[in-house]
Structure 1
Amino acid sequence: MMDAQALPAETAGREFAFEMRDFRVIARLLYDTSGIRLSDAKAPLVYSRLGKRLRTLGLSRFSDYCKRLEGPDGEAERGVLLSALTTNVTRFFREPHHFEALRTQLRSGLVQAAAVGGRVRLWSAGCSLGHEPYSMAMCVLAELPDAARLDIRILATDIDPMVVQRARQGIYTRDDVAPVPSDLAGRWVVEEAGQVRMHPAVRELVSFGELNLHADWPMKGGFDAIFCRNVAIYFDEPTQQRLWGRFAQRLAPEGRLYIGHSERAETPVLRSDGLTIYRRADA
């Protein structure tokens, strides 16, 4: 472990004064807020991502930025910190086998349930810029084109309010939508005024909101599918275990939890139901 006062070699002599005690203040605030743990090796990343913010605020020392974060008006700045330090790497239909499994799940009972007035709820927990929930919505519409008139909805949440705002707009580039299967893109991806946008029917199925998975969850009722992929990798083991347990409690009896390719939900409350797909152990 680095000495508590040592400057990271990658940041020494650069624009802003930065010591390991500054890094650890920032890392502690991030962990307390979101459950995301940063090792000391992430100090250069923190420096590079927050440098622009210090420049905007007219600060020359990270110690002064830490005082701002911990001060009486620090809540808003902690939101900016969170946006700067969270990663939003995503794409449409990422890990395609999950979306094939979701379509199978829809065909095996959810479509029929919705068609006769049943409640169907899906959740993208860590929705980032919206690629995942909109991919889920296109899967739903492929199986149930009139889904919007039925009681089937997708909740999309993320801890970062800035990415939630962008996701809600449903606007992307042509490169962004390239992974969308051609049969779905032809129907649900449209161009409006030179912009590539999700079809209104896709956007209508998705409700976006800000949610910290580390805090209380206000939603009521169970979910038939929960996607939380490449989120838990940023948490330590105790935080991961708490998260898997909370997801298990929120799954409907036949619900499925979809997680990232490098994650494993090794917990007694869930059992494997496919490649990085889980269901409740008591179901």
Structure 2
Amino acid sequence: MTTSFHHSGGASMPDGAQMAEIARIAYAEAGIVIAPGKTSMVQSRLAKRLRALDLPDYDSYLVLVNSEAGQDERRRMISALTTNVSHFFRESHHFDTLRNEVLPPLVAKIRAGGRARLWSAGCSNGQEAWSMAMTVLELMPDAPEHDLRILATDIDPLVVEKGRSATYDAQMVAGVDPALRKRFFEAAGGQHQLIAAAQSLVSFHELNLHAPWPMRGPFDVIFCRNVVIYFDAETQDRLWHRFAEVLAPGGWLMVGHSERVPVAPASRFVTAGITTYRLPPLAGNR
């Protein structure tokens, strides 16, 4: 490998061998596929890490992330290579489905003493999970008094912490309907913070979808949108199978606008709307 970082002139591009090793780590760690043509993207994101660590070149950086002492930096590397783009109520048809089809029978079940679990898998900065919480509270204002919880997870600890703060600037909440903004946010030092009722519904945790999961479900709905576009077909298929294993009968799966889930007989899922899938309910259930 050749030296590829210079303190005087900034970072140059990783060479082919360095790119191959970066891609290997990203795939082994998180199932992320980095094509050889993504050199500029890798360079723009990892050069900042080299500068922060005061490392002279990519070779030194790769030695670090492959070492026992570099496990924290390995996580930061994966975080740097992932894209965290989201906004409140993104792909609004999913929230229409949540409001009109998914939640009404769940609310009835909860009011009869049952439970409900929702999962935002790949929650980014938290807007998706909070949009789910607002949708729940619109339909069921007393949800915090019942057994309904929303799990929000992401591989990137920085965005998990941002989501957990439940606090966003004016630009980030600008797209929220004014009535919802007035109802579910309150002023917090020039920022906008989700009200306590919403915060009581959502818990944020760092989670690598490619690794073992500590929770078993069952979940009633999973949002995993614009995440698997970074995975190859084999990794995607494995993830769809794992989602099916932790979804309750009749459970829902929402994916991103450019993503598709294999349906029966290739999987247990059936199509239930635009980029919306469902497991068959138990006989006699809706």
1:43-62 to structure 2, matched below 5 A, reads 43-62=39-58
Do residues 156 (structure 1) and 152 (structure 2) align? yes
* Structure 2 SS opposite 1:273: strand
* Structure 2 SS opposite 1:73: helix
Change (3 A) 1:193 1:58: closer
Once residues 16 and 229 of structure 2 are traced to their aligned partners in structure 1, the CA distance between those partners, rounded to angstroms, is: 24
Note if contact 2:103-2:136 (Cα within 8 Å) is conserved in structure 1: no
Deviation at 1:281, TM superposition (A): 4.7
Deviation at 1:61, TM superposition (A): 1.4
Once residues 264 and 17 of structure 1 are traced to their aligned partners in structure 2, the CA distance between those partners, rounded to angstroms, is: 34
TM-score, normalised to structure 1's length?
0.92
Once residues 71 and 192 of structure 1 are traced to their aligned partners in structure 2, the CA distance between those partners, rounded to angstroms, is: 42
In terms of mean alpha carbon deviation, does 88-97 or 185-194 score higher? Answer: 185-194
1:179-198 deviation per Cα after TM superposition (whole angstroms, max 9, x unaligned): 22233222101112222111
Deviation at 1:221, TM superposition (A): 2.8
Deviation at 1:40, TM superposition (A): 0.2
Structure 1 partner of 2:269: 270
Structure 2 partner of 1:229: 225
Q: Which runs of 5+ in 2 are unaligned?
A: none
1:30-179 to structure 2, matched below 5 A, reads 30-179=26-175
Once residues 11 and 78 of structure 2 are traced to their aligned partners in structure 1, the CA distance between those partners, rounded to angstroms, is: 22
Change (3 A) 1:14 1:174: closer
Structure 1 outlier segments of 4+, above 2 Å? 5-8, 13-18, 105-108
**Equivalent position amino acid for 2:269 in 1:** L
Q: Percent identity over the alignment?
A: 48
Q: Which runs of 5+ in 1 are unaligned?
A: none
In terms of mean alpha carbon deviation, does 264-273 or 150-159 score higher? Answer: 264-273
**Equivalent position amino acid for 2:237 in 1:** Q
**Equivalent position amino acid for 2:164 in 1:** R
* Structure 1 SS opposite 2:261: coil
Structure 2 partner of 1:18: 14
Q: How many residues align?
A: 275
Structure 2 partner of 1:248: 244
Structure 2 partner of 1:199: 195
Deviation at 1:65, TM superposition (A): 0.8
1:5-32 deviation per Cα after TM superposition (whole angstroms, max 9, x unaligned): 7999xxxx96347311111111111110
Q: 204, 207, 210: which is aligned to 2:206?
A: 210
TM-score, normalised to structure 2's length?
0.91
Root mean square deviation, CA, Å: 1.9
Deviation at 1:107, TM superposition (A): 4.5
Note if contact 1:123-1:225 (Cα within 8 Å) is conserved in structure 2: yes
Change (3 A) 1:201 1:279: same
Q: 180, 187, 190: which is aligned to 2:186?
A: 190
